[in-house]
């Protein structure tokens, strides 16, 4: 029988005595229920192959492809194919550094992600943790005035904007994500489709609130993020090769932690697509389409 041990935070559990590579239907039922209850699950010592990792994720739903080549498993890695590690100038390295800001995956796409499962292959000697934060508990911790203030607000989400804000270049036309062609508009308060629990739906990709001045929106979004991502609502996972961690992008934020970038770090990522019935957002130009441009940092 699998053993479920809650993590010392408002969310998250570790599940042991289970083999994800040969999951029975009974164990899947237990995993699915735990996923909805805890929001994030850590499975030590799994050492899955790509195929096993993908098959496990397909229990949750169809896989979201992160690249055009049809591969369901992506390497999140600073290692170059030809040997050595990436330099800070490389766009792919900048994408990795962008991951160090709190975010939820694919919120900048018309269909946001349901879940993401990371597995560690090569870990640096220190650092390189993945941190998670519970947006259900964050919503619960807001005072009534703030809940009322944000109840009917939505924000545009854009990868171009978030990379620009982090000081990196990522322009419209790079072929992934939306910006001038219309970014998804998503409510700040999300009701979980399986549990009915409310959570804050924010993160680095959220950048503009219709009906609000940009400076005020930025202050509100940054303030909410700062408040939300605090103990006891956070958990930092220190990776051991073979671990797998899956989180619910609909209510949990995550970020990568820094490490010595001269050391290789190789993670395998499989992303579960959102249910179109609940994770689709309208996309389009807002009423300030002419101002709908990456910040000066992108120039
Ligand atoms: C991701 C991501 C965090 C990490 O793969 O989407 O944010 O720790 N990864 O690598
Ligand atoms: Mn991510």
Question: Which DSSP string corresponds to 220-237?
Answer: HHHHHHHHHS-TTSEEEE
Tell the burial category of 224 from Cβ atoms under 10 Å away from its Cβ (0-12, 13-18, 19+). Answer: buried
- Verdict on whether the full-model pTM lies above 0.85: yes
Predicted pLDDT at 217: 97
Query: Do β-strands 234-237 and 40-43 pair in parallel, antiparallel, or remain unpaired?
Result: unpaired
User: Whose CA is closest to atom 3 on ligand 1?
Assistant: 256
Give 81's pLDDT tier (boundaries 50, 70, 90). Answer: confident
The alpha carbon of 271 and the centre of ligand 1 are apart by a number of angstroms equal to 11
Ligand 1 binding pocket, CB closer than 6 Å:
76, 99, 105, 116, 118, 130, 254, 256, 267, 269
Distance CA 2, CA 149 (A): 43
| Cβ atoms of residues 174 and 98 within 8 Å | no
Predicted pLDDT at 292: 47
User: Whose CA is closest to atom 7 on ligand 1?
Assistant: 99
Mean pLDDT of 104-127: 97
User: Whose CA is closest to atom 9 on ligand 1?
Assistant: 256
Predicted pLDDT at 250: 98
The alpha carbon of 294 and the centre of ligand 1 are apart by a number of angstroms equal to 23
Return the bridge partners of 268, or none. Answer: 75, 119
Mean pLDDT of 61-74: 90
Q: Which ligand 1 atom sits nearest the alpha carbon of residue 256?
A: 8
Higher pLDDT, 238 or 164: 238
Predicted pLDDT at 126: 97
Residue in 130, 134, 116 with CA at minimum distance from that of residue 234: 134
Q: Which ligand 1 atom sits nearest the alpha carbon of residue 105?
A: 6
Contacts of 69 (CB under 8 A, 6+ apart): none
**pLDDT at residue 11 greater than cutoff 90:** yes
Tell me the ligand closest to 108's alpha carbon: 2
User: Whose CA is closest to atom 1 on ligand 1?
Assistant: 99
Give the least confident one: 47-51, 85-89, 191-195, 293-297: 293-297
Say how far residue 114 (Cα) sits from the centre of its chain: 9
Tell me the ligand closest to 130's alpha carbon: 1
Predicted pLDDT at 239: 98
The alpha carbon of 233 and the centre of ligand 1 are apart by a number of angstroms equal to 18
Distance CA 192, CA 197 (A): 5
Average pLDDT, the chain: 92
The alpha carbon of 223 and the centre of ligand 1 are apart by a number of angstroms equal to 23
Q: Which ligand 1 atom sits nearest the alpha carbon of residue 76?
A: 5
């Amino acid at each position: 029988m699998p053993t479920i041990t809650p993590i010392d935070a408002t969310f998250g559990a570790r599940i042991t005595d289970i083999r994800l590579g040969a999951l029975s239907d009974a164990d899947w039922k237990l995993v699915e229920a735990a996923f909805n209850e805890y929001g994030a699950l850590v499975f030590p010592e799994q050492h899955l192959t790509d195929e096993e990792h993908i098959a496990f994720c397909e229990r949750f739903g169809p896989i979201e492809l992160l690249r055009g080549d049809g591969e369901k498993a992506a390497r999140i890695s600073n290692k170059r194919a030809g040997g050595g590690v990436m330099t800070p100038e490389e766009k792919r390295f900048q994408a990795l550094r962008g991951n160090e800001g709190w975010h939820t995956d694919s919120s900048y796409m018309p269909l946001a992600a349901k879940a993401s499962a990371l597995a560690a292959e090569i870990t640096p000697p220190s650092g390189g943790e993945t941190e998670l934060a519970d947006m259900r508990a964050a919503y619960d911790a807001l005072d009534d005035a703030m809940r009322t203030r944000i109840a009917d607000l939505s924000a545009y989400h854009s990868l171009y904007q978030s990379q620009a804000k982090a000081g990196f270049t990522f322009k419209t036309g790079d072929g992934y994500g939306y910006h001038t062609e219309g970014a998804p508009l998503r409510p700040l308060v999300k009701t979980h489709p399986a549990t009915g629990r409310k959570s804050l739906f924010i993160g680095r990709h959220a950048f503009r609130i219709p009906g609000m001045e940009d400076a005020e929106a930025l202050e509100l979004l940054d303030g909410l993020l700062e408040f939300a991502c605090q103990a006891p609502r956070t958990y930092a996972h220190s990776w051991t090769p073979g671990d797998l961690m899956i989180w619910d992008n609909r209510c949990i934020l995550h970020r990568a932690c820094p490490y010595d970038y001269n050391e290789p770090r190789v993670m395998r990522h499989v992303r579960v697509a959102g249910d179109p019935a609940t994770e689709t957002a309208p996309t389009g130009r807002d009423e300030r389409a002419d101002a709908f441009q990456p910040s000066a940092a992108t120039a």
